[in-house]
Structure 1
């Protein structure tokens, strides 16, 4: 027995707004605040019990996350980046936003890997797609595993990025995730999912 009902949903089918008694009705919607990188949207909603209220959430759209393995598969490329909201250096994985012209998420992953690290990969495989904070944001993260990564270019960082690259043994990264030494959610999820 798996512990999960046979009717556990395996996709978004049937979960669209209005298809379930738990769905909220959106009466109106507008952007309350915009800045580079994201917007804050205010929705006027009606809850299932008839209560009318407002819900605010961050709109930032899609992103790609890359777990990059060097040739041989024993080492990975990590980035160290300053994260202002938590006011500390963060060790994690290359990642970045999906742009309007990105018709292929693998190309977006290749671009972010190259721009943030200067590495390029032989091939990419899709690992998972997740909604990391869907209670407060519409973010969708598409995580890829990159194989055969080699340093072939120089970093092309955005004006507000402070990033340093390093290579570490993959087993050390797994141990660091297990100990809680790596706190970046994208890195923890990618490693955990890859290990599963």
Structure 2
């Protein structure tokens, strides 16, 4: 999620304890498909709302992985040597006012009944690559930057 405010891009991250790596990680809002329907976009919109409190329309999400060459399968494989996990990377870009942006910082979110204890962070996009060890975020930066360079992304939405 990229939010433009006063001419600067900001990214919305979630902070969660991650048992496999034994520490708290700042990462992109994300989730697993709960059914066999394969509704990546609907799942992403739902997870964004659950993890950040921000409601977005599915029509405002851009599939970044669909910009990859068809021979890649248009999916990202974070660890193809150890897992068959596939990831679809989706982008939301929008405008936000300074008050709303400030209100996001530090919000506590997540589905407590599912054991989710999530804190929302807002960071300058230009520093994202240094703020996170999240492979999803790092891959999204690379695809977003190249797509921007090639001029193939649509205009911004408003929150």
Same structural fold, with TM-score higher than 0.5 when normalized by the shorter chain: yes
Deviations 1:42-83 (A, max 9, x none): xxxxxxxxxxxxxxxxxxxxxxxxxx1224571111111111
Could you tell me how far apart the structure 2 residues matched to 1:136 and 1:149 are? 39
3-state DSSP of counterpart to 1:108 = helix
2:98 counterpart of 1:163: no
Structure 2 residue 135 is the aligned partner of structure 1 residue 185: yes
TM-score (norm 2): 0.67
Separation of aligned partners in 2, 1:184 and 1:160: 20
Provide TM-score, normalisation by structure 1: 0.55
- Cα distance in 2 for residues equivalent to 1:82 and 1:76: 19
The yes-or-no answer on 1:146 pairing with 2:100 is no
Alignment of 1:68-83 (within 5 A): 68-72=1-5, 74-83=9-18
Q: Gaps spanning 5+ residues in structure 2: where? A: 66-74, 147-159
Give 1:8's aligned residue.
Answer: none
**2:78·2:87 contact (CA, 8 Å) conserved in 1?**
yes
Where does residue 119 of structure 1 map in the other structure?
54
| Counterpart Cα distance in 2 of 1:191 and 1:75 | 13
Q: Helix, strand or coil for the counterpart of 2:15?
A: strand
How large is the Cα RMSD of the aligned pairs?
2.6
Which of 31, 34, 37 is residue 96 of structure 1 equivalent to? 31
Q: Which runs of 5+ in 1 are unaligned?
A: 1-67
Cα 1:103/1:186, change in 2 over 3 Å: closer
- The count of aligned residue pairs is 124
Q: Which has the higher contact order (CA 8 A, sep 6+)?
A: 2
Q: Partners of 1:95 and 1:109 in 2: how far apart?
A: 7
